[in-house]
Amino acid sequence: MGRNRLLVPEARSGLNTLKASLFNQQDPAEVKYEAAKEQGVSLSKGYNGALSSHDAGKVGGVIGGNMVREMIKMAEAALAKKGE
């Protein structure tokens, strides 16, 4: 897993579930390969030292962007429900 640390470590399981569900995968670790394929980036299992920062950013940006969009939708829905 990456070096990023969650503010609430207990949230990792929920975030992994969200990540997997957004990309229709069972295993959250497989999401990056699906995102790379969609972006036309050749990401292989194992060492990817030849991968450019630009291409790595394409993959991570797609994953993170989709997760943030979904969390915003969830928060908006919760606020709307609370206001009823």
- Residues 60-84 pLDDT 10s: 999 999 999 999 999 999 999 987 7
pTM of the model: 0.77
Question: Tokens 């972006």 appear where?
Answer: 39
Domain ranges of the chain: 9-42+52-83
> 16: which 2 tokens?
């992994």
For residue 9, give both structure tokens.
């470590």
Q: What is the pLDDT of residues 45-64, one digit of tens each?
A: 989 989 999 999 999 999 99
Q: Which helix (H) or strand (E) holds 25?
A: none
Does residue 1 register a pLDDT over 70?
no
Residue type, 5: R
